Amino acid sequence: LIAEGRALRPNDFVGEPEPAVPHSIESCPFCRGNEHATPHELALVNDDQGNWLVRVVPNKYPAVDLASGGREPPAGLAACASDARDLRPPLACEPARGVHEVIIESPRHVRDWTELSSEELATVLRVFRDRIEHAYKAHQMRSALIFKNVGQAAGASLEHVHTQLMALPCVPEVLMREVQIAADHQERTGKCLMCELISDELRQGTRLIAENERFAAIAAYAGRQPYEIWVVPKQHASSFTQLGEEESQRLAAILGETLSLLHSVLAPLASAGDLRPPLAYNVVLHTAPVGEARFAAFHWHWELIPRTTSLAGFEWGTGMFINPVSPERAAIRLRALKSGEKLPIQ
């Protein structure tokens, strides 16, 4: 996605060091009282007094938008307008269509989901569900990605708790491959691959970190980063748009619990004081695209990816990842923290 409008984001401009994230409510565009600093909201959840609890706004610096012919280049950037792109085969290029929204998850200036109540997080999860559904229905998008960047090393430019929705008229590569593998497995065995995996993980327990009636959190068998965790529904469901009320509460509980464990294990050196541990991580929802029957073989899940190691040339050149902490060891350490045991080694 060539998205020159994003170069206008002061935090994102190449070559400049990222400024410190704002700590004061006055300068934060996502805090209550500063609603004028963001575009007009697309959706709101209010409390009984009419104060907003969750606010959905268009991304002010979108990587994709709904203009079918691409949008005007920002003032001063006309020299490389998208119509100047060379399109002779084998080169190809098309307007970057899609939906790019920001979900502001609390009016309070807090930094991540561990600072929301379980009820607040459940509300946020239902907003995700509804915005995905809206992108599919109102804008004919085929896939939707919910992703959260916490910490500068994970790509965040603002500290205030928020998540992004990107919905696209296509199915991106990573999701399409997962869907294809799920569909192939279903066709070959009649079963859901993720249902089999999660049932094995629950029976064996080696990589199990937390579970409740509805969900399991496991250290990913082939985790790309140390302490990569997947949170998976125990019962088959292809799309996050199917999330029920009670499920949203159970999911909020296990996501909050798992993130708290990650904070504890990964930030033992954080200085005491007001600052939270400087854990950087991404959280990404994988949910079925729409439009084909075989997509029902997919099994939605969340991926929690702590960003403790830098991606290097090896990863760029191979698509493989080097993980210095086995998922089995990660699970041992996370479970030990949960039960208040002392860490087994180191």
Q: Is 20 or 269 the residue whose CB approaches a copy of itself more closely?
A: 269
Confirm or reject binding of residue 66 to a copy of itself (CB under 8 A).
no
151: left (phi over 0), alpha (psi -120 to 50) or beta: left
Q: How far apart are CA 7 and CA 237, in angstroms?
A: 38
Among 24, 49, 68, 310, binds a copy of itself (CB under 8 A): 310
Among 266, 290, 297, 334, binds a copy of itself (CB under 8 A): 266
69 in contact with a copy of itself (CB under 8 A): no
Please state the closest distance from residue 49 (CB atom) to a copy of itself, in A. Answer: 33
Among 69, 268, 273, 340, binds a copy of itself (CB under 8 A): 268
3-state secondary structure of 345: coil
We find the least distance from the C-beta atom of residue 169 to a copy of itself, in angstroms, to be 13
* 54, two tokens: 């969750």
Neighbours of 253 (CB within 10 A): 19
Scanning 22-30, 103-111, 122-130, 307-315 for contacts with a copy of itself by CB under 8 A, the matching segment is: 307-315
Residue from the set 50, 69, 190, 313 that interacts with a copy of itself by CB under 8 A: 313
| From candidates 269, 272, 339, 340, binder to a copy of itself by CB under 8 A | 269
Site for a copy of itself in 188-247 (CB under 8 A): 193, 196-197, 200, 204, 206, 221-222, 226-227
Q: Look at residue 247 and give its three-state secondary structure.
A: helix
Which residues in the 281-300 window bind a copy of itself by CB under 8 A? 282-286
Among 174, 246, 275, 291, which residue interacts with a copy of itself (rule: CB under 8 A)?
A: 174
Indicate the burial class of 330 (C-beta count within 10 angstroms; 0-12, 13-18, 19 or more). Answer: buried
Q: Can you tell me which of 324, 339, 340, 342 binds a copy of itself, judged by CB under 8 A?
A: 324
Smallest separation, CB 212 to a copy of itself (Å): 23
Q: Is 53 helix (H, G, I), strand (E, B) or coil?
A: strand
Exposure of 262 by Cβ count < 10 A (0-12 exposed, 13-18 middle, 19+ buried)? buried
Nearer to a copy of itself, 260 or 308 (CB): 308
Contact 187, 295 (CB under 8 A): no
Q: What φ, ψ does residue 286 adopt, rounded to 5°? A: -105, 115
CB of 132 closer than 8 Å to CB of 103: no
- 155 near a copy of itself (CB under 8 A): yes
Q: Could you give the CA distance from residue 98 to residue 133 in angstroms, rounded to a whole number?
A: 14
* Window 100 to 129, contacts with a copy of itself (CB under 8 A): none
- The answer to whether residues 217 and 231 touch, using CB atoms and an 8 Å cutoff, is yes
Task: Let me know: does 5 contact 62? Beta carbons within 8 Å.
Answer: yes
- Per CB under 8 A, the list member of 10, 19, 33, 172 interacting with a copy of itself is 172
